[in-house]
């Protein structure tokens, strides 16, 4: 019976009755999500160079401006990188959008499923919808700024922006959203594509890894943000002055 149904599905697919577009969109969503998650993991670590020292953060900035390759500063490289990430983010958001609950009825179903049935993974999916929605707006502001002012990055320039130009509330909300979104996303990706075997045990181990990563990244990023704020606070009378080692 099941074999018959499978044969019919394969035949329908071969005859072109079933579109493979949903599967393709799903793959695009997974690949772009994976690339963005890896990017953000590296990004928050590079940002945390400020925890070592102002000089360490300057070295990272100079690296991304191409100084160690070309012997000169090319902030355009940062604009290009930011534009590429923006493009990947837009493709990811577009492919994810089709899965957002689109009516009040659908919201009711997913909320009752997550809470009344106490279904933890549906709850995680709901968190992803909420954090994804927040990121639509906040990540766009941040990326636009990085694209348009790539030369304004450095220990003092970044700290001034965060403290004196009041970017810290945006970064705080963006940071919490992006960390939750990225690690829940990676967890769901690993389960969805069945990367690991032994389903029951793997799910528990992956969930543990996800929680540890969220706690670790949140702690590091909170410390970085706090450090930028402290530097910005100390530099409040000299806003605009650039850091000289």
Residues near ligand HEM (CB under 6 A) are 40, 43-44, 47, 78, 81-82, 85, 135, 139, 142-143, 146, 153, 158, 161-162, 167, 171, 174-175, 178, 221, 224-225
Cα 204–chain centre separation: 23
Q: Whole-number minimum distance, CB 73 to ligand HEM, in Å?
A: 14
Q: Whole-number minimum distance, CB 131 to ligand HEM, in Å?
A: 10
Q: Whole-number minimum distance, CB 59 to ligand HEM, in Å?
A: 13
Nearer to ligand HEM, 13 or 137 (CB): 137
Alpha-carbon gap, residue 15 to 12, rounded angstroms: 5
Backbone angles phi, psi at 77, to 5 degrees: -60, -40
Alpha-carbon gap, residue 65 to 108, rounded angstroms: 48
Q: Whole-number minimum distance, CB 109 to ligand HEM, in Å?
A: 29
Q: Whole-number minimum distance, CB 156 to ligand HEM, in Å?
A: 10
Nearer to ligand HEM, 47 or 58 (CB): 47
The CA radius of gyration of the chain, in Å to the nearest whole number, is 22
Nearer to ligand HEM, 114 or 228 (CB): 228
Nearer to ligand HEM, 43 or 99 (CB): 43
Q: How many other C-beta atoms are found inside a 10 Å radius of the C-beta of residue 125?
A: 16
CB-based closest residue to ligand HEM: 158
Nearer to ligand HEM, 146 or 186 (CB): 146
Given its phi and psi angles, is residue 54 left (phi above 0), alpha (psi -120 to 50 degrees) or beta? alpha
Q: How many other C-beta atoms are found inside a 10 Å radius of the C-beta of residue 4?
A: 8
- Cβ atoms of residues 225 and 168 within 8 Å: yes
């Amino acid at each position: 019976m099941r074999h018959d149904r499978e044969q019919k599905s394969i035949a329908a697919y071969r005859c072109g009755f079933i579109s493979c577009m949903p599967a393709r969109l799903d793959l695009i969503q997974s690949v772009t999500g994976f690339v963005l998650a890896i990017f953000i993991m590296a990004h928050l670590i590079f940002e945390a160079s400020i925890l070592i020292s102002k000089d360490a953060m300057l070295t990272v900035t100079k690296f991304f401006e191409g100084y160690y390759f070309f012997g000169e500063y090319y902030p355009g490289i940062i604009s290009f990188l930011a534009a590429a990430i923006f493009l990947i983010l837009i493709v990811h958001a577009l492919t994810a959008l089709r899965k957002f609950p689109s009516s009040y009825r659908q919201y009711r179903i997913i909320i009752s499923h997550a809470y009344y049935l106490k279904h933890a993974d549906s709850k995680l999916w709901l968190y992803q919808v909420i954090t994804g929605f927040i990121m639509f707006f906040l990540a766009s502001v941040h990326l636009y700024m990085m694209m348009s002012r790539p030369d304004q990055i450095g220990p003092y320039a970044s700290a001034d922006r965060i403290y004196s130009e009041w970017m810290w509330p945006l970064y705080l909300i963006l940071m919490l959203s992006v960390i939750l979104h990225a690690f829940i996303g990676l967890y769901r990706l690993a389960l969805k594509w069945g990367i690991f075997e032994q389903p029951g045990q793997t799910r528990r181990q992956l969930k543990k890894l996800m929680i540890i990563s969220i706690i670790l990244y949140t702690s590091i990023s909170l410390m970085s943000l706090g450090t930028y704020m402290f530097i910005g606070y100390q530099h409040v009378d000299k806003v605009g002055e650039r850091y000289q080692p």
